[in-house]
Amino acid sequence: MIFPRRSGILLHVTSLPGEHGIGDIGESAHEFIDFLAGSGQKIWQVLPLNPTGYGDSPYQCFSAFAGNPLFINLSALREEGLLSDADLASAPDFPDERVAYDQVITFKQRLLHKAARAFFADRTAADRGAFDTFCQERRQWLEDYALFMACKKVHHDVAWVHWDVRIRQRDSAALKEWQHELASELEFHRFTQFEFFRQWEKVRSLCSRHGISIMGDIPIYIAHDSADVWAHPELFRLDERGWPTAVAGVPPDYFSATGQLWGNPLYRWDVSASSGHRWWIDRCRSSLGMFDLVRLDHFRGFEAYWEVPATASTAAEGKWVQGPGAEFFRILQAELKELPFVAENLGVITPGVEALRHTFGFPGMSLLQFAFGKDPQGPSFRPHNYSRELVAYTGGHDNDTTLGWWTSSGVGESTRTEEDIREEHDFTRRYLGFQNEEVNWVFIRTVLASVANTAIVPLQDVLGLGSEARMNLPGTVSGNWRWRYKANSLTKEMRQQLLDLTLLYDR
């Protein structure tokens, strides 16, 4: 697929401002879209929008299909008559620059349950029809998701491998019994999905009116504690009790001496292929129903993936195993026709990975922060080596902000020494030809001026924020995914500065 020359902003929904503790898909999302339009941006890139589990990470979700109920805008529910002013006024005093997940979950779950009860007690014929149609159209994943979440609550939120054996193993009689016993809780989860997607369609419609495409994200791997693994255990490398026998990660590299041990169960690609990769087709079709473009996280795993024994203590104990390769994407293409995918091809990339990407015309990615150090792949991230079929970033969600990268020592976050970092900064100045300018705007100008057809800038770099606004530090399990920008941070001057650069470089 040919991507036109344009630019956009990377900002996860959680980072939007608002009064209910976490960014949502209501008014603040609409205001951000207005900022995108006013600054000439044509892409809004988000992280996965699924319901988060372990560590509140959007890459460890309870479902690959469901939307995150925490993103439902409560003010919209009040306007629908499902909540009252008093309900919203009962909100705790949430911090406005970070997400306090425990508080948010407790508060929003209580009000979402109240809204669901009001909806089912007094819904109009039109709402009833829309709800029934939604449930029927999404039945393929919605019923498993609703029952999974309901069973999880009964079992005090422990992972499904610790549940009662009959429901853990999906005994058909047990499924019927639990569906009957938990009928009202299943209706609650159907309702939250109905509301999430109803509100999300308004976001998509507004973006479409402004000519803005939304780029979503498909993580290659699924959380072990998820409706998908519970409902389709045959697709994953599990033992007879449901525990993974082999898990995902990446090998040691320049930035990590022991690699990264993600812990997600690996796929049984042979079993997936025997079904014509039906689950994957459904997953991609669902994502393309939500987004205009999709970033394929850890694309290299489709060519070859790093397999780590489930008993290993670090990812260094793994090995490379051949992935599903070109045949997988040919099957997707035959079913879905157009594949507007961006391949996240960072890390240990081989000629085979690049050949697979080029075969299907998927643009790769480049992060400017990686261009100036001693990483052997550094030269490929320098703008004079860019191709037009590329998505160029100042940095990504796993990086520090550009200002944070520039001003912090960086020691302890990688295998680099203080001397390495001094040399990296010196080379950065010489390459980009700057002295005292704001480094974030130097980086923004560089990617916008490049030949890459697509340029994406994290909002933190537009705002000129430091490490306090970092979204994620890989290898850590707490304190991530919390940053939010404050209301009124997006000034007219900032919008004009971004618009001027966007117009200057024909974006």
Catalytic (active-site) positions: 297, 344, 398
**Separation CA 502–CA 10 (nearest Å):** 15
Residue 340: count other Cβ atoms within 10 Å of its Cβ: 16
Q: Name every residue whose Cβ is closer than 8 Å to that of residue 451 and which is 6 or more positions away in sequence.
A: 383, 386, 387, 388
Q: Which residue has the tokens 């902003």?
A: 9
Instruction: Using alpha carbons, select from 235, 245, 302 the residue that is nearest to residue 273.
Output: 235
Alpha carbon dihedral 23, 29, 33, 39, in 10-degree steps, equals -40
Q: Is 159 left (phi over 0), alpha (psi -120 to 50) or beta?
A: beta
Q: Which of these, 26, 474, 47, 45, lies nearest to 293 by C-alpha position?
A: 45
Tokens of 67: 């939307």
Cα dihedral across residues 49, 54, 55, 56: positive or negative = positive
Pair 319, 363: CB distance under 8 Å: no
CA angle 90, 148, 165 (to 5 degrees): 130
CA 250 to each of CA 305, 427, 432: distance values in angstroms, whole numbers, following the listed order: 8, 28, 31
Residue 442 and residue 454: Cα distance in Å, rounded?
17
Let me know how long the chain is: 507
Which sign does the torsion angle of CA 401, 406, 409, 415 carry? positive
- Element spanning 263, H or E: strand 260-265
Q: Is 454 helix (H, G, I), strand (E, B) or coil?
A: strand
Classify strands 6-10 and 454-458 as parallel, antiparallel or unpaired. Answer: parallel
Say whether 379 sits in a helix, a strand or coil.
helix
Classify the C-alpha dihedral 198-190-170-137 as positive or negative.
negative
Residue type, 484: R
Question: Three-state SS for 218?
Answer: strand
- CA nearest neighbour of 12 among 469, 501, 452: 469
